[in-house]
């Protein structure tokens, strides 16, 4: 969306141009307009009048030239028109405010129209890669009827509307032109046919609205680049008739009728601008169809065009109210937005070519982007899954190992605990325990198992091997019975016994160093050691348990990961198959579209044939009717006396 460009131009105060008696108050009355850069304010005896201050993008005083106005307001419009945008420039203002001077100019100061014509050709020449076809037409709306200014006698042309051409004036001559000079000649011709009339306000007052139109068609020289697209833009350069007060113009008769039509159509233009300047919801119906002017200018007013309006104003005090009206119109117009876009026309072949290209691009995109991306996603997910499976296996192995370790530790701990329990349940003194261990070592293979059946104890027995109380002939066999025989049934302390010298008790007391060490370790120390072992084992067990729990947690997490990955993979697969189905569907649709296009093309061909046949018939009918009319005319003339 882009706002309409609006500028205000004050013409120099009229002195001798018209009868000065009609400017009662002249230029130097109580009220005057002050132009200050982009602001205009009405002053009454040098004091600002409330509600009569305006601001615009561009304000020009009486010293501004047409060339400057063209440069500021119209040049870009012309360049855009050559590039394919519709463009409209028009002058609006009361009678004698300088509209025609602005649009047509004078001999020494060419106006917007001649400057535009030259610029169109210059710009087209600069676009070396394009070929141009330019057509011009020139029409006027006089008393709400359209006349062709390039064809004498071509009057009251109708307005038609079609889907392809939009609103158009049927039967309007369109001249193909090759140079600015050719256009200026045609303009001269049109000017000669235009309705002017003398009023009290203007010796050469425009009595009609004129629309000079250039249709600019262009196509790329290298057709392959643009897909055969043809750009067609319409440039309207409009010189409106000026609003007038009948009392001031002193109009009567024909002038009065003209004035009424002019005022009415300008009022409708004002209504259209008012409506367009309102925000969307309040806007409602736009009365384009209420006048031929607004109907023809519809694209320029809130439609597909770039538009510039030059509001011309008279500085004299006598025109204060009209100037205020013009400035109010300008203020509203600057709120109107248009939506201009390049107009491209595609031939059937170009349309087909472009659609094929689009289909190909779509196909590539579908095949390329979606499936490749999906495949990559699936591959990545598979890799992730594989990695997590490996990790899971590794963790499972670690867990197994840890469990095995824990079992071994538990087993060891249980054994140690048992040993401790055994030790605790034994109610003997540490010394007795030592001796018990020593005697236990002395047991022969024949000795009976008698728990706690302890008969005698003797400390340091093994150290006094030379003085064993057991006779030599008894060999290495010793038991309690024999012991009892020897001691005649007396249980005695072995410390009291007399030792027998020279006796060797060799085999049974052969010891390894370890057992000696063990035997030598006091029971307290051993207990402590065992407890210590036990507690360190317990600690290890706790650690192992904690590790096990951590590993189990990790395994659970991995399991979760794995299942979510599996879910994702399933979803991706689903998505992939959905996309594939969608793609198939689209390809089918595209094929159908193609065949529909072929059918349409065929229909167009048939229609064109029928149309040209019908046209031929109509032309011959017309020629025949014309001949009949001519014959009738001649015969009636002949029969007249
Ligand atoms: N900027 C200007 N510089 C010099 N003369 C100007 C300027 N503007 C207008 N004039 C002169 O003022 C007179 C009236 O101007 P013009 O005919 O252009 O008014 P208009 O708005 O087209 O009037 P109408 O609506 O009656 O056709 C002309 O003689 C014109 O030469």
pLDDT single digits (tens) 17-56: 444 333 333 445 688 888 888 899 999 888 889 888 999 9
Instruction: Note whether residue 607 is domain-resident.
Output: no
Instruction: For 538-583, write each residue's pLDDT tens digit.
Output: 888 888 888 888 888 888 888 887 888 888 888 888 888 888 888 8
% of the chain with per-residue pLDDT over 70: 76
498-514 mean pLDDT = 43
My answer on whether 342 and 448 are in the same domain is no
Report whether pLDDT(505) > 70: no
What 3-state DSSP class applies to 338? strand
My answer on whether 226 and 77 are in the same domain is yes
CA pair distance 624, 615, nearest whole angstrom: 14
Instruction: Note whether residue 605 is domain-resident.
Output: no
**Contact (CB, 8 A) for 155 and 120:** no
My answer on whether 307 and 205 are in the same domain is yes
**Contact (CB, 8 A) for 184 and 114:** yes
Q: Atom 1 in ligand 1: which residue has the minimum CA distance?
A: 11
Measured N-to-C along each axis, helices 253-277 and 320-333 cross at an angle, to the nearest 10 degrees, of 40
My answer on whether 461 and 336 are in the same domain is no
Instruction: Note whether residue 537 is domain-resident.
Output: no
Instruction: For 382-434, write each residue's pLDDT tens digit.
Output: 787 778 788 888 888 888 888 888 888 888 888 878 877 777 675 555 555 55
Instruction: Note whether residue 340 is domain-resident.
Output: yes
Closest ligand 1 atom to Cα of 97: 21
Question: What pLDDT does 211 receive?
Answer: 96
**Contact (CB, 8 A) for 215 and 206:** no
CA pair distance 78, 250, nearest whole angstrom: 39
Pairing of strands 229-239, 87-93: parallel
State which residues form the domain around 502.
Answer: 419-529
Instruction: Note whether residue 403 is domain-resident.
Output: no
Instruction: Note whether residue 590 is domain-resident.
Output: no
Q: Give me 282's structure tokens.
A: 């309040």
- Shortest CA distance to 216 belongs to which of 116, 295, 354? 116
Q: Mapped to the 3 state alphabet, what secondary structure does 268-337 carry? A: HHHHHHHHHHCCHHHHCCCCHHHCHHHHHCHHHCCCCCEEEEEEEECCCHHHHHHHHHHHHHHHHHCCCE
Instruction: Decide which of 4 and 361 is more confident.
Output: 4
Give, for 630, the enclosing helix (H) or strand (E).
helix 523-639
**Domain ends where: 314, 346, 378?**
346
- Give the residues across from 138 on adjacent strands: 212
My answer on whether 316 and 195 are in the same domain is yes
CA pair distance 473, 555, nearest whole angstrom: 72
Ligand 1 center to 122 CA (angstroms):
28
ipTM for the predicted complex: 0.98
Instruction: Note whether residue 556 is domain-resident.
Output: no
My answer on whether 140 and 222 are in the same domain is yes
Q: Atom 12 in ligand 1: which residue has the minimum CA distance?
A: 98
Which among 100, 140, 319 is the best mutation to test ligand 1's pocket, defined by most ligand atoms within 8 Å of the CB? Answer: 100
Ligand 1 center to 97 CA (angstroms):
5
- Shortest CA distance to 102 belongs to which of 239, 265, 260, 3? 239
What is the DSSP code (8-state) at residue 500?
P
My answer on whether 330 and 459 are in the same domain is no
Q: Is the CB of 94 under 6 A from ligand 1?
A: no
Instruction: Note whether residue 40 is domain-resident.
Output: yes
Q: Is the CB of 97 under 6 A from ligand 1?
A: yes
My answer on whether 322 and 425 are in the same domain is no
Which residues contribute to the annotated binding site?
93-100
Question: What pLDDT does 177 receive?
Answer: 94
Q: Is the CB of 205 under 6 A from ligand 1?
A: yes
**What is the total count of domains within the chain?**
2
Instruction: Decide which of 354 and 421 is more confident.
Output: 421
Q: Atom 14 in ligand 1: which residue has the minimum CA distance?
A: 96
Q: Is the CB of 95 under 6 A from ligand 1?
A: yes
Ligand 1 center to 188 CA (angstroms):
18
Q: Where are the beta strands (DSSP E) in 145-225?
A: 145-148, 159-162, 166-169, 175-177, 196-197, 205-206, 209-220
CA pair distance 298, 305, nearest whole angstrom: 9
Q: Is the CB of 315 under 6 A from ligand 1?
A: no
Q: Give me 314's structure tokens.
A: 């008279």
Q: Is the CB of 209 under 6 A from ligand 1?
A: no
Q: Give me 100's structure tokens.
A: 């025609």
Which residues contribute to the annotated binding site for ATP?
93-100
CATH code at position 161: 3.40.850.10
Which among 7, 8, 11, 20 is the best mutation to test ligand 1's pocket, defined by most ligand atoms within 8 Å of the CB? Answer: 11
CA pair distance 390, 387, nearest whole angstrom: 5
My answer on whether 84 and 194 are in the same domain is yes
Binning pLDDT at 50, 70 and 90, where does residue 500 land? very low
CA pair distance 157, 170, nearest whole angstrom: 6
Q: Atom 29 in ligand 1: which residue has the minimum CA distance?
A: 17
**Domain ends where: 479, 507, 529?**
529
Q: Is the CB of 242 under 6 A from ligand 1?
A: yes
My answer on whether 158 and 247 are in the same domain is yes
Closest ligand 1 atom to Cα of 206: 27
My answer on whether 43 and 190 are in the same domain is yes
* Residue 156 neighbours by CB under 8 Å, 6+ apart: 145, 146, 147
CA pair distance 32, 44, nearest whole angstrom: 7
**Domain ends where: 346, 376, 411?**
346
């Amino acid at each position: 969306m882009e706002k309409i460009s609006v500028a205000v131009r004050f013409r120099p105060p009229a002195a001798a141009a018209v009868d000065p008696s009609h400017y009662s108050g002249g230029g130097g009355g109580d009220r005057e307009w002050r132009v200050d850069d982009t602001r205009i304010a009405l002053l009454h005896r040098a004091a600002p009048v409330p509600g009569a201050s305006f601001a615009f993008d561009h304000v020009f005083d009486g010293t501004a030239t047409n060339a400057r106005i063209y440069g500021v307001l119209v040049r870009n419009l012309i360049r855009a028109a050559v590039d394919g945008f519709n463009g409209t420039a028009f002058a609006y203002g009361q009678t004698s405010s300088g509209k025609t001077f602005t649009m047509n100019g004078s001999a020494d100061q060419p106006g917007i129209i001649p400057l535009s014509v030259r610029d169109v050709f210059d710009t087209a020449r600069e676009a070396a890669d394009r070929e141009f076809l330019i057509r011009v037409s020139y029409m006027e709306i006089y008393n709400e009827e359209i006349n062709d200014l390039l064809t004498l006698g071509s009057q009251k042309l109708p307005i038609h509307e079609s889907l392809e051409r939009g609103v158009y004036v049927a039967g309007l001559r369109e001249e193909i032109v090759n140079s600015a000079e050719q256009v200026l000649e045609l303009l001269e011709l049109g000017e000669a046919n235009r309705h002017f009339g003398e009023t009290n306000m203007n010796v050469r007052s425009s009595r009609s609205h004129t629309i000079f139109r250039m249709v600019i068609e262009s196509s790329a020289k290298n057709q392959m680049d643009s897909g055969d697209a043809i750009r067609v833009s319409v440039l309207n350069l409009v010189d409106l008739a000026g609003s007038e007060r009948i009392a001031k113009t002193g109009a009567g008769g024909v002038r009065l009728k003209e004035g009424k039509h002019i005022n009415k159509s300008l009022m409708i233009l004002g209504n259209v601008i008012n409506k367009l300047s309102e925000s969307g919801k309040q806007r409602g119906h736009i009365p384009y169809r209420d006048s031929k002017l607004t109907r023809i200018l519809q694209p320029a007013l809130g439609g597909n065009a770039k538009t510039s309006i030059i509001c011309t104003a008279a500085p004299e005090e006598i025109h204060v109210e009209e100037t205020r009206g013009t400035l109010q119109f300008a203020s509203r117009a600057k709120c109107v937005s248009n939506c201009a876009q390049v107009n491209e026309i595609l031939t059937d072949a170009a349309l087909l070519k472009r659609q094929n290209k689009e289909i190909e691009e779509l196909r590539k995109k579908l095949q390329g982007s979606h499936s490749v991306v999906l495949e990559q996603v699936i591959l990545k997910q598979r890799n992730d899954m594989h990695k997590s499976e490996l990790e899971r296996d590794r963790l499972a192995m670690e867990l197994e190992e840890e469990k095995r370790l824990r079992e071994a530790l538990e087993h060891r701990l249980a054994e140690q605990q048992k040993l401790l329990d055994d030790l605790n349940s034994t109610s003997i003194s540490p010394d007795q325990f030592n001796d018990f261990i020593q005697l236990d070592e002395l047991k022969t293979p024949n000795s009976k198992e008698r728990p706690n059946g302890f008969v005698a104890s003797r400390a340091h027995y093994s150290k006094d091997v030379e003085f064993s109380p057991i006779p030599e002939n008894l060999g290495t066999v010793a038991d309690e019975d024999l012991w009892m025989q020897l001691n005649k049934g007396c249980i005695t302390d072995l410390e009291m016994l007399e030792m027998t010298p020279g006796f060797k008790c060799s085999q049974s007391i052969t010891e390894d160093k370890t057992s000696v060490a063990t035997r030598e370790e006091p029971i307290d120390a051993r207990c402590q050691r065992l407890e210590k072992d036990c507690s360190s084992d317990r600690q290890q067990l706790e650690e192992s348990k904690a590790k096990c729990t951590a590993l189990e947690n990790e395994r659970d997490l991995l399991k979760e990961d794995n299942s979510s990955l599996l879910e994702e993979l399933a979803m991706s697969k689903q998505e992939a198959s959905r996309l594939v189905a969608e793609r198939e569907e689209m390809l089918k649709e595209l094929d159908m579209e193609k065949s529909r296009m072929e059918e349409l093309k065929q229909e167009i061909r048939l229609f064109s044939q029928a149309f040209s046949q019908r046209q031929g018939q109509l032309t011959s009918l017309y020629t025949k009717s014309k001949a009949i009319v001519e014959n009738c005319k001649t015969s009636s003339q002949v029969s007249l006396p």
